[in-house]
Amino acid sequence: MATRKAKTNLPVSASQPGTGPVGKPAPAAQAAQPVAIPAVQAAQPVAIGEPDHSDFLADRFANAFLARLTAGLSPASLTLAYTDWAAHLLSAPGKRTDLLRKAGRKVLRMATHAAHCATRNDSPEPCIQPLAQDRRFSDPAWQQPPYNMIYQSFLLTQQWWYNATTGVPGVSRHHEQVMEFTARQLLDIFSPSNFLLTNPVLQQKTLETGGQNLLHGWQNLMEDSQRNLLGLPPVGAEAFQVGRDVGVTPGKVVYRNRLIELIQYAPTTKTVHAEPVLIMPAWIMKYYILDLSPQNSLVRYLVSKGHTVFMVSWKNPEYDDRDLGMEEYLRLGALAAIDAVSAIQPGQRLHAAGYCLGGTLLSIAASALAGRGDERLASLTLLAAQVDFKEAGELTLFIDESQVRFLEDMMWEQGFLDTKQMAGAFQLLRSNDLIWSRMLNEYMMGERGQLNDLMAWNADQTRMPYRMHSEYLRQLFLNNDLAEGRYRLDGELVSLGNIRAPVFAIGTEQDHVAPWRSVFKIDRLTHTDITLLLTSGGHNAGIVSEPGRRNRRFRLEHRSRHDGEIDIASWMERQDVHEGSWWPAWQAWLAAKSGKQVPAPKEMGNAAAGYKPLGDAPGSYVMGR
């Protein structure tokens, strides 16, 4: 069988030891010493995109002001997509004729269905079924006339517009995706489920309550508006206070710099696996998604299985952090954490796990360390994390040159990308569930949904510094430099092909942020043993999937470095389905990659090495707002 080869295998040249993440090879994992992390220099002007000359200041201020009105979406980007689509549609008479034919057939289907409904006593099958994930018209009341005609007409219209915005000859793929997405968002605004006159479920609720639901909905809207203006968390979030209700696994902060706190968790078993586990969440989120309530805490689960767990907690950046870039996030984040764990538990290799962007950053760090012969990583786990961004899902709709420049100008003015600006993009990806369904239930039905710990965490978001986010968007998302062998650290090329530690890559079936097919591309970019796991759920709920949770399943495949490349298109169909949580499968893999059990540490940190406990978990950085 053909050997799986890495696409990028350029070596990382050595630089002087102690100057950064790329230095001389460590003689052995046991002898590896922490790399000195230099202090970040005073903020310098950021040279990203166009230079910051006075000639461009007016442009930047104008774009920043416009961005506040458009929630960060570039009008120029949308205009370019529309112009590309409209111009090519006008020059495609065959496509226009086909669309007219399709419109005629849909009108005929609707008329035939209406005639059947009027002349037959039974209820005929709908002429069009909603998509599996579309639950707007699932109530039986929608099957009664005239509402059945209303919602089916809407679905047929939605289907026609999908045909109209896709398959137009000559339109670029990106512009086609933008047009299809935009048309879908605009149509969803006018869904019959959103209006009292066309929603039978809402009408019935209004009659039953004498209109009290609308009054309660108005009160909910006013309360939410007030909380948004004051910057307060959503209703119900007070029941999930960090350190009291969530993020409560006992531990100590054992290291801190200007960007991270490192938490070491207290053991609960007499013996532990010799190799510690270092977890790096994304800086776009608070770390405690992996340490939620005690019953669904991944950290607590690993500790209970005899693992010594360390967790990175990112600082919520402010204006003064605007010039922190990707290199600082590598030096002060991933590499500083690895050095600290190595010093606290000297002589032991470590299992590194990264979630989302944290996994991307950890992959870069692992590549750089492997390139200089540093073998401190016993394994690398990627939790819904991408290293190839060519097909990075619907988030790429918001990433092109015009959009990135627009975001840069907005961040340039305020110094960071705000939480609300990020949340808006993620909500658009699932607008039916996160926007319109919520507005219907809370503001028209008058029913408050009960907040759970995951929802409360999701509302506790973080900002991203101007320089880092700009570099991340351009180098990784826009240019795909990491996967294509152009990414540089300390001036040296970083190659994923250098990684030799075994990899465990986890994707989730319904991930809109890091699609599993994109996550699994790590298999093509490395030359090592890889385990691929696909679990049910989405980007967050699929990862927070504790044992005992209902309706959970996963697929698993262990692949040798000598196996050929996988066929991603048919991978899911070829794998057996395992019921339950994926956590035990990953923990068993970690245990198999670990050495003998050793006595559990009696104290947190390592005072002799200069890592004294600085305070109790969850630390101070997680409290930053």
CATH number of domain containing 272:
3.40.50.1820
How far apart, in whole angstroms, are the C-alpha atoms of residue 376 and residue 346? 10
Q: For position 614, what pLDDT does the model report?
A: 97
Nearest to 444 by CA among 172, 98, 209: 209
Pairing of strands 503-508, 377-383: parallel
* Tens-place pLDDT, residues 210-261: 999 999 999 999 999 999 888 788 899 999 999 999 999 999 999 999 999 9
Q: For position 433, what pLDDT does the model report?
A: 61
CA 357 from chain center: how many Å? 7
Q: Which tokens go with 553?
A: 């399943």
Q: Per-residue pLDDT for 20 more than 50?
A: no
Per-residue three-class SS string for 324-389 = CCHHHHHHHHHHHHHHHHHHHCCCCCEEEEEECHHHHHHHHHHHHHHHCCCCCEEEEEEECCCCCC
Return the higher-pLDDT residue of 144 and 416.
Answer: 144
* Catalytic (active site) residue 117: no
Same structural domain for residues 100 and 248? no
Exposed, middle or buried: residue 532 (CB in 10 Å: 0-12, 13-18, 19+)? buried
Q: For position 413, what pLDDT does the model report?
A: 63
Same structural domain for residues 186 and 258? no
How far apart, in whole angstroms, are the C-alpha atoms of residue 585 and residue 557? 11
Q: Is residue 109 part of a domain?
A: yes
CA 449 from chain center: how many Å? 24
Q: Is residue 92 part of a domain?
A: yes
Q: Is residue 110 part of a domain?
A: yes
**222-237 in b/e burial notation, b at 16+ Cβ within 10 A?**
eebeeeeeeeeebbeb
Same structural domain for residues 196 and 344? no
Q: Which residue range forms the structural domain that includes residue 261?
A: 242-390+482-623
Q: Average pLDDT of 376-393?
A: 92
Same structural domain for residues 82 and 154? yes
* Residue-by-residue DSSP string for 15-75: --TTSSSS-SPPS-GGG--PPP-PPPPPP-----SS---HHHHHHHHHHHHHHHHTTT--H
Total tally of structural domains belonging to the chain: 2
Q: Per-residue pLDDT for 23 more than 90?
A: no
**148-175 in b/e burial notation, b at 16+ Cβ within 10 A?**
bebbbbbbbebebbebbbeebeebeebb
* Contact in structure between 277 and 310 (CB atoms under 8 Å): yes
Q: For position 64, what pLDDT does the model report?
A: 67
Question: Which positions ≥6 away from 524 have C-beta within 8 Å?
Answer: 4, 6, 7, 388, 565, 566
Q: Per-residue pLDDT for 26 more than 70?
A: no
How far apart, in whole angstroms, are the C-alpha atoms of residue 299 and residue 281? 12
* Tens-place pLDDT, residues 160-196: 999 999 999 999 998 998 899 889 988 999 999 999 9
Same structural domain for residues 81 and 148? yes
The dihedrals phi and psi of 312, each to the nearest 5 degrees, come to -85, 130
How far apart, in whole angstroms, are the C-alpha atoms of residue 259 and residue 252? 17
Same structural domain for residues 150 and 254? no
> Which of 153-167, 468-482, 529-543 has the weakest average pLDDT?
468-482
Q: What is the pTM of this model?
A: 0.84
How far apart, in whole angstroms, are the C-alpha atoms of residue 7 and residue 499? 12
CA distances from 166 to 18, 186, 220 (A): 53, 16, 39
Amino acid at 422: M
Q: Is residue 412 part of a domain?
A: no
Return the higher-pLDDT residue of 35 and 103.
Answer: 103
Q: Which of 37, 356, 397, 411 is catalytic?
A: 356
CA 543 from chain center: how many Å? 11
Q: For position 185, what pLDDT does the model report?
A: 87
Q: Is residue 20 part of a domain?
A: no
Same structural domain for residues 262 and 338? yes
* Tens-place pLDDT, residues 567-601: 888 899 999 999 999 999 999 999 999 999 999 99
Same structural domain for residues 196 and 271? no
Same structural domain for residues 184 and 261? no
Q: For position 131, what pLDDT does the model report?
A: 87
Which of 151, 178, 201 finishes a domain? 201
The model's confidence at residue 399, banded by pLDDT at 50, 70 and 90, is: confident
Same structural domain for residues 182 and 266? no
Q: Is residue 395 part of a domain?
A: no
Q: Is residue 450 part of a domain?
A: no
* Contact in structure between 538 and 512 (CB atoms under 8 Å): yes
How far apart, in whole angstroms, are the C-alpha atoms of residue 460 and residue 269? 32
Same structural domain for residues 132 and 268? no
Return the higher-pLDDT residue of 532 and 21.
Answer: 532
SS3 620: coil
Q: Per-residue pLDDT for 354 more than 70?
A: yes
Which of 201, 226, 261 finishes a domain? 201
* Tens-place pLDDT, residues 428-469: 555 556 578 889 999 999 998 888 999 899 888 888 888 888
Return the higher-pLDDT residue of 455 and 417.
Answer: 455
Q: How many CA atoms lie within 13 A of 211 on its CB side?
A: 0
Q: For position 1, what pLDDT does the model report?
A: 42
Q: Per-residue pLDDT for 538 more than 60?
A: yes
Q: For position 415, what pLDDT does the model report?
A: 67
* Tens-place pLDDT, residues 502-525: 999 999 999 988 999 999 999 999
Which of 143, 172, 201 finishes a domain? 201
Strands (DSSP E) found in 274-343:
277-280, 309-314
Give the mean pLDDT of the chain: 86
Q: Is residue 225 part of a domain?
A: no
* Tens-place pLDDT, residues 314-338: 999 988 888 899 999 999 999 999 9
Same structural domain for residues 359 and 489? yes
The dihedrals phi and psi of 233, each to the nearest 5 degrees, come to -70, 165
